[in-house]
Structure 1
Amino acid sequence: MDRIFKERMPVSQAKEKFLASIVPLTRTEDISIRDCPGRVLATHTIAPRNVPHFRRSAMDGYAMRAADTLGASPLNPVMLQLSDVVEEGTCTRIGTGQHMPEGADAVMMIEDTISMGDMIEIRAQLHPGKNVGDIGEDIRKNEILFNKGHLLRACDVGVLASLGIREVKVYCKPVVAIIPVGDDLVPLSYTELPSAGKNLESNSLMIGLYVEQWGGVPKYHNIVPEDTAQIEQAIKENIDADMLIISGGTSVGEKDFVPGVVASRGELLVHGVGLSPGKPTALGLVNGKPVVCMPGYPAAGLVALFVFGRPALRKVANAPDVPDVIVKAQLSSKVTSREGYLSYARVILDGRTAHPLMTAGAGILSSIAKSQGFVIITEHVEGYEKDSEVDVVLIE
């Protein structure tokens, strides 16, 4: 494999090309509605009955016949007898949501009445159906409640529960294999101080937590040395996963074998993107499964994970991509970027002021932890001046 990036694909083009190659999951499962928030419906959900299934009062007041209120006003009130049944000349006390009694076709708000023992002074005129909820007013039987592909929320669960629905069919969560590559890595279980040149392998845990947050199931693989055969074997062992994320071994050094292995076992769609940090990112397919090859440097890897890994995982899961949370802020100092690169400048937020932390330093993970978000600088902008109002994308 040639050891230089002959091309640097724009981020938008790389993302479009990669996502277009991904086929969403078709596996489904039936789960309890208690477990369905954040899951994606695999079928249309049809209402099995009306809600409400009875006529109900929409107000606190008195149920009565609208015809008995004809001409009623504060200056010309009508007197009705308080009763347990509704018939000509009578009314009955009713609360919001309660079943409308036989003979009643309207509800007078309590504010438009005056109680006089067992007589009620009616001070307004009603028309039939006033302040009454009809059968199926909220939901009609056989109505489509939620379409296939709907991302279920807690409020949706309330609707399902109100209809007596206890289970729903959803798409299975994608299994994402996480493969760390690097001769310099030691496992997190290592209790001694790593020797010079060695580092604890922390990327897998970070990736796995985001995979769970974005709707997937992480499958962790042991550290793989920078060796073509062993990288190929690791991919082979995880080909049953729905998606693969490989951390490290993506650049153009003598031992950066990952893109070449992906190309030999499947299709390498992209290698080298106009992303800072994150230029060495590679994207491809192996056995039809999407593969995100992110840089091993933590900050660069995290940016690549946000830009490519998250939307890829959401598409595999049949779920809409997670929208960025953006706040407006004013820069306390100038931020610069590399022309031709989509740059992610880390900033610290102090109220509505954004203090730039750094735009470089791909290996400095603490710069992510210290910052609250990114200012994204487009490819054709050299940066933003001090006091500029910018969008800050919050780090999840």
Structure 2
Amino acid sequence: MTGREFFTARTVGEALVGFRPERRTAVEPVPLDGALGRVPAADVRADAPLPGFARSTVDGYAVRAADTYGASDGLPSYLDLAGAVRMGAAPTVTVTPGRCAAIPTGAVLPAGADAVVMVEYTAETMPGTVEVTRPVAPGSGVVQPDDDVAVGAVLVPAGRPLRAPDLGLLAAAGVTTVDVHARPRVAILSTGDEVVPSDTKELTVGQVRDATASALAGLIREAGGDPVYAGIVPDDEGALRSALTDALGAADLVVVSAGSSVGARDETAAAVSALGEVWCHGLALKPGKPTMLAECAGVPLIGLPGNPLSALVVFRLLGVPLVRRLAGCDRPPPAPRVRARLARDLPSAAGRLDVVQVTVTEDPDGTCRAEPLFGPSALLSVLARADGYLVVPEPATGLDAGTDVEVVLHA
């Protein structure tokens, strides 16, 4: 390999499909109040049906459906009021032919009843007598004991991050803890002689603060991982190899924010090659061509370009899915997207995937418009201004203004 070559270059599609390390994080129990966004390690199944009893879904009267057949405004049915059902208690009344019981939403359906008439279609014309003006079928206004969840049904599946409704369903089923995959520990190792900590007050000429690490940490948290800052290493193969060895021993994924120069990339490639197997060095992607994917002692590693915009574009495309995969997530939530019309011509080159940052505005007629943002890949302000990004596929040589495009919105 010469100092200016990329070897084992891949497309983004090949990387997403082909680079799939087997590593998974350990399984740990967590209480429901700490389980949001965590990934169950196995399906959680119901030990009992939900809601567990027949209950009313409306305020009204529990009836035998047959007693309401033919009822109308002009010819109502009249039923004797047998009593009322109280919330949170077993019914003390029984509905027999020609009788009904007052019932609130959520209360237990009393014995003998098979439907509930909404209160809007009734009137108590005299004490103890209820007028019904609408017929109901058996089961109307009623949830059966296993309508929500049957015994043995999956409450929440393995491999999908838990959402707020999932926590509610688990609580209803009496599940108070869930076995989930631990959050992946993601070590962020910054490199470059010019890079200094972000809290550096005064910069000398040529120095830059480490902005990429903070942004990467945000993406890692969004993906469900725990970022760990592994420090800043100069462009020296020996120092980098030592830092990588330490990081690999304490992380589930190592992310190297490499220096921008060809020489710095060579140092990273040499250090990684000495510790493991490089799967890919170079992507058919703009921005983000000098990307490395490797596996060292069972720990996946991503070598990112030094330019911040490029690094974050690559990590969103490849790093975020990898963090989720390490956490056992094989059913990731879909990214929010919007259809829009491209505001201007967008040139591209065939054979590479172009990721273009855009702002999205809505015209008075409701049409969304995507305005491309251009700038060098060293400018983080381009990403900070963007509402999302669009992808120009490899075969395309560009997109014309007015083209209908799909914009993936930033969280």
Fold match by TM threshold 0.5: yes
The 5 A counterparts of 1:153-302 are 153-192=163-202, 194-239=203-248, 240-249=250-259, 252-253=262-263, 256-302=266-312
The 5 A counterparts of 1:4-43 are 4-7=4-7, 8-19=9-20, 22-43=21-42
Match of 1:355 in 2: 371
Letter paired with 2:381: S
Match of 1:106 in 2: 115
Tell me how far apart the structure 1 counterparts of residues 15 and 76 of structure 2 sit (CA, whole Å): 75
CA distance 1:111–1:303, change in 2 (3 Å): same
8 Å CA contact 1:5–1:252 kept in 2: the answer is no
Aligned-partner SS, 1:221: strand
Q: Percent identity?
A: 34
Aligned-partner SS, 1:222: strand
Per-residue displacement from partner, 1:18-39 (whole Å, max 9, x unpaired)?
22xx114151111111111111
* 2:397 aligned with 1:382: yes
8 Å CA contact 1:299–1:363 kept in 2: the answer is yes
TM-score, structure 2 as length reference: 0.89
Tell me how far apart the structure 2 counterparts of residues 383 and 68 of structure 1 sit (CA, whole Å): 70
Further displaced range: 91-100 or 239-248:
91-100
TM-score, structure 1 as length reference: 0.92
Match of 2:62 in 1: 63
Match of 1:335 in 2: 346
Further displaced range: 70-79 or 254-263:
70-79
2:105 to 81, 96, 101: 96
Tell me how far apart the structure 2 counterparts of residues 254 and 135 of structure 1 sit (CA, whole Å): 65
Further displaced range: 123-132 or 322-331:
123-132
CA distance 1:371–1:58, change in 2 (3 Å): closer
Letter paired with 1:195: T
Per-residue displacement from partner, 1:75-122 (whole Å, max 9, x unpaired)?
443322223233343222112221122332332233333321221123
Match of 2:87 in 1: none
Per-residue displacement from partner, 1:175-230 (whole Å, max 9, x unpaired)?
001000000011112111x1111111111111111101110001101110111111
Shift of 1:46: 1.6
Further displaced range: 31-40 or 125-134:
125-134
Shift of 1:6: 4.9
Shift of 1:337: 1.9
CA distance 1:74–1:356, change in 2 (3 Å): closer
Shift of 1:152: 0.8
8 Å CA contact 1:331–1:355 kept in 2: the answer is yes
CA distance 1:332–1:66, change in 2 (3 Å): closer
Letter paired with 2:105: T
Further displaced range: 114-123 or 32-41:
114-123
Tell me how far apart the structure 1 counterparts of residues 132 and 338 of structure 2 sit (CA, whole Å): 53
Tell me how far apart the structure 2 counterparts of residues 122 and 386 of structure 1 sit (CA, whole Å): 63
Specify every segment of 5 or more residues in structure 2 that has no aligned partner in the other structure, as ranges: 84-92, 363-367
Aligned-partner SS, 2:395: coil
Aligned-partner SS, 2:401: coil
What is the RMSD computed on CA atoms of the aligned residues?
Answer: 2.1
8 Å CA contact 1:250–1:257 kept in 2: the answer is no
8 Å CA contact 1:251–1:295 kept in 2: the answer is no
Letter paired with 2:80: Q
Shift of 1:4: 2.3
Match of 1:83 in 2: 82
CA distance 1:330–1:44, change in 2 (3 Å): closer
Tell me how far apart the structure 1 counterparts of residues 235 and 147 of structure 2 sit (CA, whole Å): 64
Shift of 1:339: 3.2
Specify every segment of 5 or more residues in structure 1 that has no aligned partner in the other structure, as ranges: none
CA distance 1:197–1:5, change in 2 (3 Å): same
Tell me how far apart the structure 1 counterparts of residues 388 and 140 of structure 2 sit (CA, whole Å): 52
Tell me how far apart the structure 2 counterparts of residues 389 and 282 of structure 1 sit (CA, whole Å): 33
CA distance 1:70–1:16, change in 2 (3 Å): closer
Aligned-partner SS, 1:145: strand
Tell me how far apart the structure 1 counterparts of residues 138 and 340 of structure 2 sit (CA, whole Å): 55
Tell me how far apart the structure 1 counterparts of residues 67 and 405 of structure 2 sit (CA, whole Å): 64
CA distance 1:344–1:78, change in 2 (3 Å): closer
Match of 1:324 in 2: 335
